[in-house]
Amino acid sequence: MNSSCLNPDQLPIQNNELDVLNELVPLQAQAIIELGCGAARLARDLLQRWPLCHVTGLEVDALQHAKNLAAPQDRLVFLAAGAQAVPLPGVSFDLALMLKSLHHVPMAAMDQALDEVARVVRPGGHLYVSEPIYGGALNELVRLYNDEGVVRSAAQAALDRALSQGQHWEAVAEKRFAQALRFASFDDFAQRMMYPSFADHRIDEAMLARVRAAFEPHSGEQGAAFVRPMHVRLLRRKA
């Protein structure tokens, strides 16, 4: 979906994606794997709300993985690995999460990643994929230095192929919503969005100035507020 056919203002705001997840997959006592867990914020919150769950978080970013290991939490295990090569036995999990991570898998490995997820999810278990929609004011800003149009389309196409093949997955539900984001200043935006530890966007002074100029019209006394439109697809593992 591109920006020309999307109005993020018409999407319902969900400030906590846990509420969306729990609406689609009731979280009581689930063995969960998160592929591309980042800082594992949602996983940590999930375990606070549903203490009978267990989460295994996979992360390929060595710096973030080290930070995760330095902040242990009960029922939360971290592994350095990518979705396309999960170093765990099959049929081990009830639920797999990919939160803004499928489009970060190398495009040539996306099909393999979904096959790997199918291998480790038990029959009847679920795959919850939440991907940013390519549209809206925040996307227009970010794509100045990191245009993800191709990889986001590739992620959706990989899900379509996995479903059309009919071997592992069947579609259960889809949901679109918007996440509210606020940045205190341009420096806050730059720190959080332009310099991730997992990627080098090669931002020089000219690009920094260009992004700053595009950011300023959104900024006021309370900072800059955006909404990020999201597309959730829930798949079930076939028997």
pTM: 0.94
What was the pLDDT predicted at 6?
Answer: 59
What was the pLDDT predicted at 1?
Answer: 40
What was the pLDDT predicted at 135?
Answer: 93
Query: Do the Cβ atoms of 114 and 169 come closer than 8 Å?
Result: yes
**Quick one: which of 147, 135, 141 has its CA closest to 218?**
141
Domains and CATH numbers, the chain: 3-237 (3.40.50.150)
Query: Do the Cβ atoms of 56 and 120 come closer than 8 Å?
Result: no
pLDDT per residue as tens, the chain (239 positions): 444 455 776 899 998 999 999 999 989 999 999 999 999 999 999 999 999 999 999 999 999 999 999 999 999 999 999 999 999 999 999 999 999 999 999 999 999 999 999 999 999 999 999 999 999 999 999 999 999 999 999 999 999 999 999 999 999 999 999 999 999 999 999 999 999 999 999 999 999 999 999 999 999 999 999 999 999 999 999 99
What was the pLDDT predicted at 10?
Answer: 84
Burial class (CB in 10 A: 0-12, 13-18, 19+), 182: exposed
What is the rounded distance in angstroms from the CA atom of residue 228 to the CA atom of residue 134? 9
